[in-house]
Amino acid sequence: MSEEKEERLIIKRDGYPSPGEIVIGTVTRVMDFGAFVSLDEYENKEGMVHISEVAPGWIKDIRDHVKKGQKVVCKVLGVNPKRGHIDLSIKDVTERQKREKWQEWKNELKAFKWLEIIGEKLGLSREQLIEIGKKLIKEYDSVYEAFVECAYEGYEVLAKIVGEEFAKEMAEIARENIKPPRVKVRGYFELKSYAGDGVERIKKALMKAYDVIKKFPNIKAEIEYVGAPRYRIVLEADDYKVAEKALKSVVDTVLKTIKRLGGEGNFVREHIG
């Protein structure tokens, strides 16, 4: 029989995590007093979650909460490199931190796979890929972030780190797989018309916004009634400057239209936090 396929590429960090850092790990042993967790992101590092840090409240049996082989997201409470001790907490990790860490780790696993694809294409060994991956982590804190940088800035930003040929392959994969995040700008119109058909006039003014948006590529507009006399508008675009330019054009057009139709109005900007 042929040998089993080599395990997937995982590039681990050297050194120790920092106190306060959120990490991913695999439970290796469960004792009455706590659980030992192998850190998936760090080379040969294991931490311990004391039973009091597993879950809130009193714990009768730790095995009701953690099991061997389970993947867990932990917060690093303390590190003692001299003794090789890493104290972890599961209960101190918020739901938001957990979601974000899982997504970050999924992205990193995808990036490792992309490195494997490039390595296969260029005939590189596993050791060479690990060396390249560690260089990227040192420079960008994660392999995935290096791909993101490449998607935005082009292969040239990575050429000095991984070589031109490898950087070009990274750029190609990045363009195919990483979509730049969309940005949003928003605010609300306060529009009034005292004419008999005032509602129709306001509607006509707002509809002008969609005419303006058509002139801008890849922009999505949404207008909703908030409550008299307010109408919120949200613009979504690939680029913040384009979104701002489109919003200014929309505001000018809508306010000029409502004034021309005998009404009055103003615009209040809202900031998305």
Q: How confident is the model at residue 228 (pLDDT cuts 50, 70, 90)?
A: confident
What is residue 13's predicted lDDT score, i.e. its pLDDT? Answer: 94
What is the pLDDT at residue 273?
Answer: 46
Mean predicted confidence (pLDDT) in 82-108? 96
pLDDT band at 272 (very low <50, low <70, confident <90, very high): low
Q: 159-205, pLDDT tens digit by residue?
A: 999 999 999 999 999 988 987 677 888 899 999 999 999 999 999 99
The share of the chain scoring above pLDDT 70, in percent, equals: 96
pLDDT at 62: 95
Closest to 53 measured CA to CA, from 24, 20, 88: 88
Residue ranges and CATH numbers for the domains of the chain are 22-93 (2.40.50.140), 96-177 (1.10.150.190), 183-270 (3.30.70.1130)
In this predicted structure, what is the pLDDT of residue 23?
97
Helices then strands, counting H and E runs in the chain, come out as 7, 9
Q: Per the structure block, which two tokens stand in for 12?
A: 């681990």
Give the list of residues 6+ apart from residue 192 with CB closer than 8 angstroms, or none: 198, 202, 229, 263, 264, 265
What is the reported pLDDT for 98? 96
- Mean pLDDT of all residues in the chain? 92
Question: How big is the CA angle at 119 (ends 115 and 123), to the nearest 5 degrees?
Answer: 175
Inter-residue contact 158 to 167 (CB < 8 Å):
yes
The per-residue pLDDT for 68 is: 97
Burial class from Cβ neighbours inside 10 Å (0-12, 13-18, 19+) for residue 77 reads middle
Q: Are 56 and 43 in contact (CB under 8 A)?
A: no
CA distance 5 to 2: 9
Residue % of the chain over a pLDDT of 90: 80
Helix axes of 95-122 and 143-153: crossing angle, nearest 10 degrees: 70
Please tell me the pTM assigned to this model: 0.65
Tell me what the mean pLDDT of segment 29-34 comes to: 96
For position 17, what pLDDT does the model report?
96
